[in-house]
Amino acid sequence: MSVFSGMSRPMKAAGVALVGVAIIAAVIGGISALSGDGSNEAGPSGTPTQPGTSTGSQPPSGTTPTTSPPTTTSPSSPTPPSPTSPPPGQPTSGQPGQPGDQQASNKWVTVRVFNNSTIKGLAARAKDDFAGSGWNVTEVSNYSQGVIPATTAYYRPGTDEEAAAKQLAQEFGFKAEPRFAGIQDATPGVIVIVTNNYESGHKGS
């Protein structure tokens, strides 16, 4: 006999409806029980989380966080010193006191040239030779107060004339001597008296 026997038609319809609703609910509950493994649960922030993970910043257990090695800066290489001065012990050029400077400084001394030879114009030629080498020749004339045996540069001892006369004599191959009595009181400066032995243009060692 059916469970609905003895019921009126309306009651039967209501009972069928209730049974249908119960069946549908049971089916839906079974489906939910099969698929409800918690994989769609939301974390504290409302975002889905995967099994075995957490929402914190800690890495999974068993792994070591990788960190970049510290950056090291190599020490800057020393800057080599600027070659503003020569190494110790090396000669410097253009410094006062060098022999070349001393010789050049002697050439400011006044030089006067006198001809005591039989060669006309010899004093003028000697003057050109001396001036061409940088000497300060201020006068050219003749000397007729006596005979000079050889071309000589005369100076007053103890003055700048001495070093200048010796340098000039060495440069052009004649001798240098202190002034003799006849020219002792002449105008200051080196006095060169050229004779027949003067070789124009000749320079000694």
pLDDT band at 56 (very low <50, low <70, confident <90, very high): very low
Question: Domain 104-194 classified CATH 3.30.70.2390?
Answer: yes
Computed over every residue of the chain, the mean pLDDT equals 73
Tell me how far apart the alpha carbons of residues 193 and 111 are, in angstroms, rounded to a whole number: 11
Give the residue-averaged pLDDT of 146-168.
97
Cβ neighbours for 166, distance < 8 A, ≥ 6 positions apart: 153, 155, 176
Tell me how far apart the alpha carbons of residues 178 and 161 are, in angstroms, rounded to a whole number: 10
**Which range is least confidently modeled, 22-31, 130-139, 150-159, 170-179?**
22-31
User: At residue 175, does pLDDT exceed 70?
Assistant: yes
Residue 94, token pair as written in the block: 């253009």
Give the residue-averaged pLDDT of 6-22.
64
b (16+ CB within 10 A) / e for 126-146: bbebbeeeebebeebeebeee
pLDDT per position as a tens digit, 97-139: 444 555 577 999 999 999 999 999 999 999 999 999 999 999 9
Give the residue-averaged pLDDT of 49-62.
48
Look up residue 156 and give its DSSP letter.
-
How does strand 110-115 pair with strand 190-194? parallel
Give the residue-averaged pLDDT of 83-94.
43
pLDDT score of 30: 62
Tell me how far apart the alpha carbons of residues 106 and 162 are, in angstroms, rounded to a whole number: 9
182 or 86, greater pLDDT: 182
Range from 7-11, 38-42, 77-81, 110-114 that averages highest in pLDDT? 110-114
User: At residue 53, does pLDDT exceed 50?
Assistant: no
* Residue showing tokens 């039989």: 118
Q: At what angle do helices 99-106 and 160-172 cross, to 10 degrees?
A: 100
pLDDT band at 20 (very low <50, low <70, confident <90, very high): confident
pLDDT score of 21: 72
What is the enclosing helix (H) or strand (E) of 182?
none
Could you tell me which of 117, 134, 110, 98 has the C-alpha nearest to residue 187? 110
**Phi, psi values for residue 32, rounded to 5°:** -65, -40
pLDDT score of 203: 66
**For the whole model, what pTM was predicted?**
0.51
pLDDT score of 90: 42
